[in-house]
Structure 1
Amino acid sequence: MSKILKIRNVGDYSQWVGHTDTHPQVSVIDYAEVSPVRHCLNNYSVYGIFFHDEANIDLAYGCGKYDYKEGTVICVAPGQIGGKEDNGEVVNLTGWALLFHPDLLQGTALEKHIREYSFFDYRVNEALHMTNEEHDILVSLMRQIKDELQKKHDALQDAILVGYIELMLNFCQRFYNRQFIIRKLVNSDMLMKFDQLLRDYYEEKIQLTSGMPTETFL
């Protein structure tokens, strides 16, 4: 039976990796400050955004797998399961994690439309792979949220944190859209080449001597 860590709040994950939180509903973790850490397969009741600067880990996500490499972003939502089951291995990681509890969003505009961010959907069958520029943007936002968390709590802090989180989510959506467009263009280019191969095959009447085109020819 799989060992699953229940992440009921941000503190559950922080405790696992050895991080101390300053806010009950938001956590920003710089893995370089807590490594080495052990793997964990998590059942989330919080939202999370994770990326490692150097990683080559086969992670579970829902019923599928992610090949988690450098520059890969994993986004999870409450009710989802993801990670890698603890096998006793200790690994050194560099990168960042942002976790926030749904209660933080109560009464905000983000609460109403957070489900619209496509990358939280289990049906997304590929991870987000960042460019160097995109990586630097997310790291900058992580640092800003971390800096805000270290300030004394006041009446505006939660609103500021939600603002930063929404900004990060919007950037992630932009990056996903960019990746989708590139993938669509690549697929379109492949279809055009495939179509041209078939046209040439029949125009040169190769089918009369070789029969129908095979996978080897294509």
Structure 2
Amino acid sequence: MGTIVKLNTIHEYNMAVGVETLHPLVSVVDFSTLKSLKHGRKNFGFYCIFLKQLKCGELSYGRSTYDYQEGTLVFVAPGQVAGVDDDKETLNPQGWALLFHPDLLRGTSLGRKMKDYSFFSYEANEALHMSERERQIILNCYLEIQEELERAIDKHSKSIIASTIELLLNHCQRFYDRQFITRESLNKDILVRFENLLSDYFESDQPQTVGLPSVQYAADKLHLSANYFGDLIKKETGKSAQESIQLFVIEKAKERLYDENKTVSEVAYELGFKYPHHLSRLFKKVVGVSPNEYRA
């Protein structure tokens, strides 16, 4: 395992690949202008959106690796590690990178919305695969930002660049929605596996030893990032992953309340609730009556 290079600033990245810094907080890099691109894993102190235009082997991202297909977008948030760890270099590379520092977003509408773009926390194997038309839309945003960077910086620069990045991210949100739909059969398979996972969990003694299953637990078992899993469940069912787990738990509670030899407290502990009143509160919220009223 090679060393991980920490890049805190946009200028450090530009220096590493050999391009001029036009703005301290944002950069657009056209890889086709470089003779070569040295491989290595980097810990980024800023946001990166990589657009690959040629298949170029595996990229490691966090704990995962996957094949970069042509027209793939990968999103990296500050603090994440990405790159290829083989000490080689790509000659005549193709593709683009958009880099922007969180400081660019301070005081902008985009700064307030960044947490909504959950795809920055997806795993690499959940990258965005685009059609040619979608790729052109994204490329146009890159070119627009690049054109703005080539002008002299003035009082309008920041808001124009931030709004173009926001437009780009809104397009990406739309394309991810399309990807969820086009992968519907795959998603249905994940829903079935999710339901089986919950069934197995409540048939075991895990609720008593571990407690209620979390969204992170389910995502890990299904080999998905929690954010991607949550977005997928929401698109497929209209409910959040947390709500889906709660509804499953309430159905289990209803089944067990039919056994009149068990108290409500016993049912609550069996299902993994730390305190019986937590079950009562959730039951009332979902069903509209308390467990005792339901039983009666």
Report what 1:107 is aligned to.
Answer: 107
Contact 2:59 2:67 in 1 (8 A): yes
Alpha carbons of structure 1 residues 158 and 125: separation in structure 2 relative to 1, 3 Å: same
How far residue 83 of structure 1 moved from its aligned partner, in angstroms, is: 1.0
Structure with the higher strand share, 1 or 2: 1
2:111 is equivalent to residue 87 of structure 1: no
Percent identity over the alignment is: 45
In structure 2, what is the Cα distance between the partners aligned to 1:159 and 1:109? 9
Instruction: Provide Cα deviations, 1:92-112, integer angstroms capped at 9, x if missing partner.
Output: 211110000000011112112
Aligned residues between the structures? 192
Contact 1:138 1:168 in 2 (8 A): yes
How far residue 114 of structure 1 moved from its aligned partner, in angstroms, is: 0.3
How far residue 85 of structure 1 moved from its aligned partner, in angstroms, is: 2.1
In structure 2, what is the Cα distance between the partners aligned to 1:48 and 1:125? 16
How far residue 91 of structure 1 moved from its aligned partner, in angstroms, is: 2.9
Unaligned runs of 5+ in 2: 192-296
How far residue 65 of structure 1 moved from its aligned partner, in angstroms, is: 1.5
Q: Which amino acid aligns with 1:13?
A: Y
Report what 2:23 is aligned to.
Answer: 23
Alpha carbons of structure 1 residues 20 and 172: separation in structure 2 relative to 1, 3 Å: same
2:76 is equivalent to residue 72 of structure 1: no
Contact 2:39 2:83 in 1 (8 A): yes
In structure 2, what is the Cα distance between the partners aligned to 1:41 and 1:183? 30
Report what 1:3 is aligned to.
Answer: 3
Q: Higher Cα Rg: structure 1 or 2?
A: 2
After the TM superposition, which segments of 4 or more aligned residues of structure 1 sit over 2 Å from their partners?
Answer: 88-92, 122-125, 185-191
Instruction: Provide Cα deviations, 1:189-211, integer angstroms capped at 9, x if missing partner.
Output: 999xxxxxxxxxxxxxxxxxxxx
Unaligned runs of 5+ in 1: 192-218
Report what 1:203 is aligned to.
Answer: none
In structure 1, what is the Cα distance between the partners aligned to 2:111 and 2:141? 20
Where do 1:113-124 residues align within 5 Å?
113-123=113-123
In structure 2, what is the Cα distance between the partners aligned to 1:179 and 1:104? 29
Q: TM-score, normalised by structure 1?
A: 0.82
Where do 1:179-194 residues align within 5 Å?
179-185=179-185, 187-188=187-188
How far residue 123 of structure 1 moved from its aligned partner, in angstroms, is: 4.8
Other structure's SS at 1:104 match? helix
Alpha carbons of structure 1 residues 62 and 157: separation in structure 2 relative to 1, 3 Å: same
Other structure's SS at 1:87 match? coil
Alpha carbons of structure 1 residues 122 and 2: separation in structure 2 relative to 1, 3 Å: farther
In structure 2, what is the Cα distance between the partners aligned to 1:72 and 1:117? 17
Q: Which amino acid aligns with 2:114?
A: I
How far residue 15 of structure 1 moved from its aligned partner, in angstroms, is: 1.2
In structure 1, what is the Cα distance between the partners aligned to 2:84 and 2:186? 31
Contact 1:118 1:173 in 2 (8 A): no
Alpha carbons of structure 1 residues 168 and 158: separation in structure 2 relative to 1, 3 Å: same
How far residue 64 of structure 1 moved from its aligned partner, in angstroms, is: 1.2
In structure 1, what is the Cα distance between the partners aligned to 2:13 and 2:127? 21
Instruction: Provide Cα deviations, 1:147-176, integer angstroms capped at 9, x if missing partner.
Output: 000001111100100001101111111111
Other structure's SS at 2:96 match? strand
Q: TM-score, normalised by structure 2?
A: 0.61
Contact 1:41 1:86 in 2 (8 A): no
Q: Which amino acid aligns with 1:176?
A: Y
Structure with the higher helix share, 1 or 2: 2
How far residue 86 of structure 1 moved from its aligned partner, in angstroms, is: 5.1
